[in-house]
A and B are shown apart, each in its own frame.
Chain A
Amino acid sequence: MPEITYLEGIRQALFEEMERDENVFCLGEDIGAYGGAFKVTEGLLSKFGEERVIDTPVSEAAIVGAAAGAAHMGMRPVCEMQFIDFISCGYDMLTNYVATARYRAMLPCPMVVRGPSGGYVRGGPFHSQNPEAAFLHTPGLKIVYPATVSDAKGLLKSAIRDDDCVLFFEHKYLYRRIKEELAEGDHLVPIGKARIAREGADVSVISYAATLWKVLEAAEQCEKEDGLSVEVVDLRTLLPLDDDAIVATVKKTNRVLVVHEDTRTGGIAGEITARINELAFEWLDAPVLRITAADVPLPYAPSLEDYVLPQTADIVRGIRRLAAY
């Protein structure tokens, strides 16, 4: 098998699932003839036709709501948000209607909402968002945010087959920057399971999506320069969180740094810290620390964006601080 990019992994997942199950269809803005703003859905229209690759009006609430209705009827819609920042326009549908459907009305909503997310791309405040925290607080939704090609493909396939609504965030910085060779066959990655991205014994760093790569870089640097053995956990699924994996790494290293690109207050690192506190407090040798974006809308200018978002040097600093604690 040839190496493919993160973006191609996503596209392959869509192709394979649409081929496998005729109930799977895609809807979104400019996804057909144009192939999507990032060309993720390129080629889908010619292969599957206009009834299964639907160009919609600029109407995120309708995209999400219509997907829910079709899902009730047994279809498996995959919605594209042109940028994930526009998922806010479908927020009511997702949190009030979709997330509660199974619980309040025994109505299954097997659907996926996916889209390009994240910063480090000079996209400014409305083309760089990481909206996971806005949905983390909504029981009934699942949230996935892959960092690797293998996970992008395997998790999307699992998301499409999942019987509930999965929000599938794709990091646009990773789209064409990372490559991987995947084994032949039906490549599935389970939802709800974290992954050890690097084994270590001294300090654990928990992260996901684009910052995972910065964490790996920092771990490398700390090993070389400080002789530290850093374990890196890639969450992959943010809701439901993999408590077992989190606790296991705490027990192993007793020192935990949580790193995410989203802003700090109310971010997922806070939830992880609380769980560690509840489940593994006695195993800690140091307070859980967070490296996150500052609590500001993400600015456009490179000097500002670089300042607001977590950088490798920050993570190195966090690891050293914990190791020295």
Chain B
Amino acid sequence: MATRAPTGSRAGKAPAGQLRAEPGPGAALTREQKLDLYYYMRLTRSLEERLVNLYRQTKVVGGLFRSLGQEADAVGSAYALDRSKGDVLSPLIRNLGSMLVQGATPLEILRQYMAKGDSPTRGRELNIHFGSPERGFIGQISHLGDMVPVMAGVTLSFKIRKQDRVGLVYVGDGATSTGSFHEGINLAAVQRCPLVVIVENNGYAYSTPISRQTAAAELKDKASGYGIPGERVDGNDVIAVYEATRRAVDRARRGEGVSLVELVTYRRKGHAEHDNQSYVPEGEIERWESENDPLTRYVGWLTGIEGIAASALEQIDARVVQEIDLATDEAERSPVPESDDALIGIYADPPTLEPLWFREGVRSAVEKHERPASWGTHDPETVKATEDA
């Protein structure tokens, strides 16, 4: 499998061949697992392509975020967790693939983007901001870096309860500049939490190139400051991603604490669909597309080195299309949220808020709770009570 990455940005200088673990890449994976990786990468890409169509039809309510060119990074890293043991990850905006690996369904993703009432967040949150702790993923918020301390706590609980579970948290190159990243990874390192921190170096944070994000030569260098192992790998080589993450997961499971894995990849689309990428040097995107597409590379490796028949992959492609078609039809049929669902679930107790007075007739909050008994009409009971007092 080719590991040559285009040069031109620092993200491009992937460490070719560094991860060739004996006895050969992917040796620990079965044929089914290798095809599984392909399935999730293909599903990620095709599902996002479907979302682009829906976005253009204005059926996606908010912005649309792509992970084109980063599918190997998301899928390979998540695949290194052990779902049967209850491992947990926290995805970021480019980790649709990681969520699919953990069991998120295309239907959930589509409903979520379309703000449907039966979406995982009932229309409250956007895009892939949702979680499912039972299936091993905890939903992110927008504030970058915040999930690092949260995952420190998730994995601290594993440690305290002596559970055989591992956590994994994603941060982008940009998010490594936040205070939350620093505080969270440091706390987890000191506590030797079973946590893997995946730093996705895709060259940009919105329009800001990595050279303006950090003066460190490589993001993996940050690890030594926290006293934890750091490794930098080719993020577009799904097997290399899987194996490096797996090493970190195994360390965490053995009680050896936090590891940082820098995945070198490239964000081929803009920050979101509206971003025209005018700040990207000419030819950079095309070079990554033609020379370093993670799916093309993986297909080449599977059919070349691994001798898997192209027809096996075509079958998977067909299955992916079918799944997405079915999910799209169903998501389109889903209802929009009932408006007063907005008042449910702020607290466990009380479970529902009263509507504000101007949204309800007589049975409004203001009449029940805020309005003095004598308000508007003279209430002799209240006057008497006041005079008595």
Do A and B bind? yes
Instruction: Give me the interface of A with B, judged by CB distance under 8 Å.
Output: 29-30, 33-34, 37, 55, 57-59, 61, 82-83, 85-86, 88-89, 122-127, 264, 287, 291-292, 294-297, 299-304, 306-308, 314, 317-318, 321, 325
B124 A304 Cβ-Cβ under 8 A: yes
Number of B positions contacting A (CB below 8 A): 48
Q: How far is the CA of A227 from the CA of B341 in the complex (A)?
A: 36
Instruction: Flag whether B187 is at the interface (Cβ < 8 A).
Output: no
Instruction: Flag whether B2 is at the interface (Cβ < 8 A).
Output: no
B338 A30 Cβ-Cβ under 8 A: no
Residues of A within 8 A of B115 (CB): 122, 300-302
Instruction: Flag whether B17 is at the interface (Cβ < 8 A).
Output: no
Known: A300-B61, A300-B62, A304-B339. A295 touches B346 (CB 8 A): yes
Residues of B within 8 A of A30 (CB): 206-208
Known: A57-B212, A58-B205. A292 touches B336 (CB 8 A): no
CB distance from B212 to the nearest CB of A (A): 5
B142 A85 Cβ-Cβ under 8 A: yes
CB distance from B127 to the nearest CB of A (A): 9
Residues of B within 8 A of A300 (CB): 61-62, 115, 121, 123-126
Known: A55-B208, A59-B177, A314-B358. A304 touches B341 (CB 8 A): yes
B339-379 at interface with A (beta carbon < 8 Å): 339-343, 346, 353, 355-356, 358-359, 375-376
Q: How far is the CA of A129 from the CA of B90 in the complex (A)?
A: 24
B178-225 at interface with A (beta carbon < 8 Å): 178-180, 205-208, 212-214
* Cβ contact of A296, chosen from B141, B208, B213, B343, cutoff 8 A: B343
* Cβ contact of B179, chosen from A89, A287, A318, cutoff 8 A: A89
CB distance from A228 to the nearest CB of B (A): 17
A301 B142 Cβ-Cβ under 8 A: no
Q: How far is the CA of A325 from the CA of B122 in the complex (A)?
A: 39
Instruction: Flag whether B337 is at the interface (Cβ < 8 A).
Output: yes
Known: A57-B212, A302-B115. A122 touches B62 (CB 8 A): yes
CB distance from B131 to the nearest CB of A (A): 14
Q: How far is the CA of A177 from the CA of B104 in the complex (A)?
A: 38
B376 A325 Cβ-Cβ under 8 A: yes
Chain B residue with Cβ nearest A124: B126
Residues of B within 8 A of A29 (CB): 205-206, 208
A301 B117 Cβ-Cβ under 8 A: yes
B356 A127 Cβ-Cβ under 8 A: no
Residues of B within 8 A of A299 (CB): 123-125, 337, 342
Q: How far is the CA of A53 from the CA of B177 in the complex (A)?
A: 19
A59 B178 Cβ-Cβ under 8 A: yes
Q: Can you list 26 A-B contacts (CB < 8 A)?
A: A29-B206, A30-B206, A30-B208, A33-B278, A34-B279, A55-B208, A58-B177, A59-B179, A124-B62, A124-B142, A125-B125, A126-B142, A264-B356, A294-B342, A294-B355, A297-B124, A297-B346, A299-B124, A300-B125, A301-B337, A302-B115, A304-B123, A304-B124, A306-B339, A308-B342, A318-B358
Known: A33-B279, A55-B212, A89-B179. A317 touches B358 (CB 8 A): yes
Instruction: Flag whether B144 is at the interface (Cβ < 8 A).
Output: yes
Known: A89-B178, A307-B339. A294 touches B126 (CB 8 A): no
Known: A30-B208, A300-B61. A126 touches B143 (CB 8 A): yes
A294 B343 Cβ-Cβ under 8 A: yes
Q: Given A127-B142, A304-B124, list of 20 further CB < 8 A pairs?
A: A29-B206, A58-B175, A86-B143, A124-B62, A291-B356, A295-B346, A299-B124, A300-B123, A300-B124, A300-B125, A300-B126, A301-B61, A301-B123, A301-B336, A301-B337, A302-B336, A303-B123, A303-B338, A314-B358, A318-B358
Shortest Cβ-Cβ A-B pairs, 10 listed:
A301-B123, A57-B177, A126-B142, A34-B207, A307-B339, A301-B115, A299-B124, A58-B174, A124-B126, A304-B342
Q: How far is the CA of A86 from the CA of B117 in the complex (A)?
A: 28
Residues of A within 8 A of B355 (CB): 294
A55, A297, A301 pick with most chain B CB within 10 angstroms: A301
